[in-house]
Amino acid sequence: MYDTTILQQRIAQGLAEIDMPDFPQNLYGPINYMLQIGGKRIRPLLTLMAADLFSIDEMDKALPAALAVELFHNFSLMHDDIMDNAPLRRGQQTVHEKWNPNIAILSGDNILIMAYAQLAKCPPTKLPSLMDAFNTMAMEVCEGQQLDMDFEHAASVGIDDYLQMIRLKTSVLLGTALKMGAILGNADNNDAQLIYDFGVNVGLAFQLQDDILDVYGDPAQFGKQQGGDILANKKTFLLLKALETADTANAAELDRWLHDDIHPTEKINAVTAIYDRLGVRQLAEAAKQAYADRSFQTLEHIAVDARRKTPLQTLAHSLIMRTH
Amino acid sequence: MYDTTILQQRIAQGLAEIDMPDFPQNLYGPINYMLQIGGKRIRPLLTLMAADLFSIDEMDKALPAALAVELFHNFSLMHDDIMDNAPLRRGQQTVHEKWNPNIAILSGDNILIMAYAQLAKCPPTKLPSLMDAFNTMAMEVCEGQQLDMDFEHAASVGIDDYLQMIRLKTSVLLGTALKMGAILGNADNNDAQLIYDFGVNVGLAFQLQDDILDVYGDPAQFGKQQGGDILANKKTFLLLKALETADTANAAELDRWLHDDIHPTEKINAVTAIYDRLGVRQLAEAAKQAYADRSFQTLEHIAVDARRKTPLQTLAHSLIMRTH
């Protein structure tokens, strides 16, 4: 099997070698910028690791699919940042801030097309099934982003609605990245579905960890403002669970803070205290652990020697247990 | 060969039968709306006509590619309308006006993915070459739209720059629609390239006719405000040719009107009079005719019985000579 570091180097090299015209500058400049400000490249790594888990004669055959996954991720970030009016991405100015929203729309469109141009380089016999997996995922990610926007204005959002949203918006991309690798590694349909389910459950646990870290993470490690979700009244698992389980007194206090945007420090402290009283952190940790357990059980069922699964277990564990 | 009316019915039926979830409503509602306000469906018709020109055993094998072309066209219109801040499309409110820009970004993204989902239904042996043709076109259309936006703020734009922009923004889609049909109709590479060139030249002539009609069309037939391009200082073939050929006196008068936005009727009349004095209409007609001639010559070289080419000649003629 390949060392993870080797796979990461191939991804970095593959991204650097993507054919990128330099004209029009206002179209390809922002794309270059977005790809160069980095990210952890977890998703393409999952594609290559899945291909490696099964059997692929030449890892370069899986590289275009891995790059397609990473390009798709960057497309969705560029457009989400416009919709969320986000000033920063990975600590740098977002494209719509550094250029303008029209340029971010069009450059994002072009990254999506570039993702498909990578897919077109995949082995022709695999292309139809790769396209099906990728297209299903891509539409679901759009659906998840729409639900996320809808939730901002929704009077009430249930925990199940929230879990469906994060499944669509973030988890199916992890599952599909793995599934595409499995297809390229000649896995059978059952194993391809199992590794997809593994990825989706890792993604759900990953997102719940994100919600927990916003409130309970070490700000020095997490790198984001602690309590940012609380200040934005973001409908996270913690807030939705608090709204669901609060008694009258806690509900009334929570409601008061949701309408307060002039006492930021007090708001973070007070809402965190309500979360503590209601024990929503423990509920979130339990839900996260359930998804983590399910993901590792699913991985066990894949018809491959257990020792080959160690790198994926290690990576999944680091994603779910991360402190930043 | 198939009657054009039959092909148009298949396209309408195919569009109506596209699998369209009804949830989230704010994602698929705008897509349904965009597809239902219509358009002439010229591009998918070109795909089916090209497949029919060569040999295809079952026309339904070409339908997904035709639908992909039409979906791509609607994606680009939805996003262009945001960037151009256009209030109306086909006489109806644009999606970003009826809903909001974020919804138009995301619904547009989803239409583009739906286009690829149609491509994935094409015969697997044809899929790689169809993807290559489609992806090249899609990136070029983005490049053309970026150049169009760049030109708005450019101090000076040459005729060649303009022709390159309209080739990318509008013509390559016509050429690619035909080429994809040719691929599905088992044309050889030479004929596929010839029908692509035919379509690109028809597209260039079509766009020049659009520029001419804005100023010299019968408003009752054209359906747009006469002189709309003049009022918007739009850098059309006519304006760029006028700027290129004007003597000092005409150039000074033209420059004055370009800076006048408070006398609309006078501006249209005065700029039209300058165009008349400089004979730019004749120059545009001559350029249009040169592209039309080239397109028909290219069509002649395709290795197919001449009588089979009649429907495409008739359609191309109606596009180039249209009065509305």
Determine, yes or no, domain membership for B161: yes
Chain segment B113-147, per-residue pLDDT in tens: 999 999 999 999 999 999 999 999 999 999 999 99
Determine, yes or no, domain membership for A181: no
Task: Indicate the residue among A111, A140, A173 that finishes a domain.
Answer: A173
* Structure token pair of residue B280: 């730019």
Chain segment B193-230, per-residue pLDDT in tens: 999 999 999 999 999 999 999 999 987 776 667 899 99
Determine, yes or no, domain membership for A211: yes
| Least Cα separation, residue B147 to chain A (angstroms) | 7
Chain segment A79-132, per-residue pLDDT in tens: 999 999 999 998 999 999 999 999 999 999 999 999 999 999 999 999 999 999
Instruction: Indicate if A236 and A163 belong to the same structural domain.
Output: no
A102 vs B120, B143, B149: nearest CB = B149
- Which residue of chain A is at minimal alpha-carbon distance from B126? A124
Task: Indicate the residue among B132, B149, B173 that finishes a domain.
Answer: B173
Q: Are B108 and A112 a contacting pair, CB within 8 Å? A: no
Q: Indicate whether A223 pLDDT > 70.
A: no
Q: Answer yes or no: do A106 and B79 touch at CB < 8 A.
A: yes
Q: What mean pLDDT is predicted for residues B74-103?
A: 96
Chain segment A132-168, per-residue pLDDT in tens: 999 999 999 999 999 999 999 999 999 999 999 999 9
Q: Indicate whether A215 pLDDT > 90.
A: yes
Confidence of residue B153 (pLDDT cuts 50, 70, 90): very high
| Least Cα separation, residue A147 to chain B (angstroms) | 7
Residue A96 makes CB contacts below 8 A (sequence gap 6+) with: A78, A81, A82, A103, A104
Q: Answer yes or no: do B146 and A26 touch at CB < 8 A.
A: yes
Confidence of residue A195 (pLDDT cuts 50, 70, 90): very high
Please tell me whether residue B88 adopts helix, strand or coil conformation: strand
Instruction: Indicate if A109 and A55 belong to the same structural domain.
Output: yes
Question: Would you state the pLDDT for residue B169?
Answer: 98
Determine, yes or no, domain membership for B182: no
CA–CA separation, A100 and A103 (whole Å):
5
B116 vs A24, A108, A116: nearest CB = A116
Instruction: Indicate if A38 and A164 belong to the same structural domain.
Output: yes
Q: How many domains does chain B have?
A: 2
Beta strands in A24-129 (DSSP E): 88-89, 92-93
Question: Would you state the pLDDT for residue A233?
Answer: 95
Average per-residue pLDDT for chain B: 96
* Structure token pair of residue B40: 């002439």
Question: Would you state the pLDDT for residue B38?
Answer: 83
Amino acid, single-letter form, for residue B286: A
Q: What mean pLDDT is predicted for residues A185-214?
A: 97
Determine, yes or no, domain membership for B244: yes
Confidence of residue A219 (pLDDT cuts 50, 70, 90): confident
| Least Cα separation, residue B139 to chain A (angstroms) | 6
CA–CA separation, B109 and B82 (whole Å):
13
| Least Cα separation, residue B37 to chain A (angstroms) | 22
Chain segment B176-192, per-residue pLDDT in tens: 999 999 999 999 999 99
| Least Cα separation, residue A99 to chain B (angstroms) | 13
Q: Supply the CATH number for residue B298's domain.
A: 1.10.600.10
* Structure token pair of residue B202: 């028809």
Cis peptide before B87 (omega within 30 of 0): no
Question: Would you state the pLDDT for residue B164?
Answer: 98
Instruction: Indicate if A146 and A285 belong to the same structural domain.
Output: no
Q: Answer yes or no: do B105 and A139 touch at CB < 8 A.
A: no
Determine, yes or no, domain membership for A79: yes
CA–CA separation, B22 and B214 (whole Å):
39
Beta pairing class for B92-93 and A92-93: unpaired
Total residues belonging to chain B: 324
Q: Which residues pair with A255 in a beta bridge?
A: none
Instruction: Indicate if B246 and B291 belong to the same structural domain.
Output: yes
| DSSP 8-class letter at A262 | S
Residues of A in contact with B146 (CB under 8 A): 24, 26-27, 103, 106
Q: Residue A221, exposed/middle/buried by CB under 10 A (0-12, 13-18, 19+)?
A: exposed
The CB density around residue B261, as the number of other CB atoms within 10 Å, is 11
Question: Would you state the pLDDT for residue A212?
Answer: 96
The CB density around residue A267, as the number of other CB atoms within 10 Å, is 19
Question: Would you state the pLDDT for residue A324?
Answer: 73
Instruction: Indicate if B249 and B310 belong to the same structural domain.
Output: yes
Beta pairing class for A88-89 and B88-89: unpaired
Confidence of residue B253 (pLDDT cuts 50, 70, 90): very high
Instruction: Indicate if A141 and A248 belong to the same structural domain.
Output: no
Determine, yes or no, domain membership for A182: no
Instruction: Indicate if B159 and B200 belong to the same structural domain.
Output: no
Q: What mean pLDDT is predicted for residues A284-291?
A: 98
Q: Are A155 and A240 a contacting pair, CB within 8 Å? A: no
Which of A110, A128, A150, A115 is closest to A23 using CA atoms? A110
- Which residue of chain B is at minimal alpha-carbon distance from A161? B24
Q: Indicate whether A315 pLDDT > 90.
A: yes
Residue B174 makes CB contacts below 8 A (sequence gap 6+) with: B42, B43, B46, B199, B200, B202, B203, B206
B128 vs A24, A75, A120: nearest CB = A120
- In chain B, what is the straight-line distance between the N-terminal and C-terminal CA atoms, in Å? 29
| DSSP 8-class letter at A259 | T
| DSSP codes, B260-274 | --S-HHHHHHHHHHH
- Which residue of chain B is at minimal alpha-carbon distance from A145? B106
- What is the interface pTM, i.e. ipTM, of the complex? 0.97
Q: What mean pLDDT is predicted for residues B97-108?
A: 98
Higher pLDDT, A56 or A28: A28
Question: Would you state the pLDDT for residue B323?
Answer: 80
- From residue B112, alpha-carbon distances to A34, A221, B12, B47 in Å are 21, 39, 19, 18
Q: Indicate whether A222 pLDDT > 90.
A: no
Question: Would you state the pLDDT for residue B223?
Answer: 62
Q: Are B30 and B104 a contacting pair, CB within 8 Å? A: yes
Which of B59, B103, B54, B56 is closest to B82 using CA atoms? B103
B270 — alpha (psi -120 to 50), left (phi > 0) or beta? Answer: alpha
> Is the whole model's pTM more than 0.95, yes or no?
yes
Chain segment A251-279, per-residue pLDDT in tens: 999 999 999 999 999 999 999 999 999 99
Instruction: Indicate if B115 and B227 belong to the same structural domain.
Output: no
Instruction: Indicate if A54 and A13 belong to the same structural domain.
Output: yes
Determine, yes or no, domain membership for B299: yes
Total residues belonging to chain A: 324
Instruction: Indicate if B120 and B16 belong to the same structural domain.
Output: yes
Q: Answer yes or no: do B27 and A142 touch at CB < 8 A.
A: yes
The CB density around residue B288, as the number of other CB atoms within 10 Å, is 22
Query: What percentage of residues in chain A have a pLDDT greater than 70?
Result: 99
Domain enclosing residue B2, as ranges: 1-173
CA–CA separation, A233 and A239 (whole Å):
8
Q: Answer yes or no: do A142 and B110 touch at CB < 8 A.
A: yes
Task: Indicate the residue among B148, B173, B198 that finishes a domain.
Answer: B173
Q: Indicate whether B72 pLDDT > 80.
A: yes
Please tell me whether residue B92 adopts helix, strand or coil conformation: strand
Which of B195, B168, B178 is closest to B44 using CA atoms? B178
A135 vs B113, B138, B139: nearest CB = B113
Instruction: Indicate if A218 and A135 belong to the same structural domain.
Output: no
